[in-house]
Structure 1
Amino acid sequence: MEVKKVHGKNDILIFLLKAALENPDGIVKDILFLLVDKNTLESIIKELKYKNSVYQEKVYWKIRTSYSSSYRSVVTELLKTLDFRSKSLSKPRRTLAIRFFEASRGTLCFS
C-alpha cells in the first residue's frame, strides 16, 4: 500500500467539521453525533486552527534562526573577499557603501 502525504489536511478537516456542525441533520445527526458530540467537534476545530498557526510560527522562527546563526557568517566572509568597484562614483549612496565595506574589511560583523 502506498501512502501519500496530503497537504492542507488540517484545513480540509476544519472545513468538513464546520460543514457537519452547520448542517447537523441527516447522516451527521444520525451517525456522527452518536460517535462524537458537538462540543468535541468544536474543540477539534479550535485545536486544528491553533496547531496550524503554531506550526507557521515555528517554521518562521526556524528559518530566522538558521539565517542568523549560519548564513549570516557566510555572507560576512563573502563580503570580506569581494573587491568593491564602481565606474560611476557620482552616486553618493553607492560611494558611501563601497567606502563603508572597504573601511570595515576585517572587522565586518553582521551578527
Structure 2
Amino acid sequence: MFGSSVPVVGVDAVPDGSYLLDVREQDEWRAGHAPEAVHIPLNELSQRAAEVPRDVQVYVICRVGGRSAQAVQALNDAGWRTANVAGGMSAWALSGRPMVSETGAEPAVV
C-alpha cells in the first residue's frame, strides 16, 4: 500500500525510552496506550507536527498500522526520521509491552 517509502519496525524493536508517537483517536488513546507515548491524533498531525522532535528517531503507532503508515510517510517526506510500528497497539498488547489507561479501567486496545 505504501511501498518501501515507509520504514517498519516490530514492537519488540522499539527501545524503552524512545519517542513513541500515538496517532489514534482520543477514545482509543483513553482506553489504552504505551505509558511514555505522546498522543497527537492523525487528523491533528499536520497542525501539530512542530511538537514532534526532529533530532531523534520517532516510532509511530496506531491500532494496527494503517494510520501510522500515513503519518510516517508524511513526516519522513518532511524531513523527520520515523518508523511505523508493525501491528500497532494490537501487536503491542499481544507482545505484553506495558500499557496504561486514562479511564481507570484495565488498559485495552479498541
TM-score, length basis structure 1: 0.22
Query: Is the radius of gyration larger for structure 1 or structure 2?
Result: 1
TM-score, length basis structure 2: 0.22
Structure number with the higher strand fraction is 2
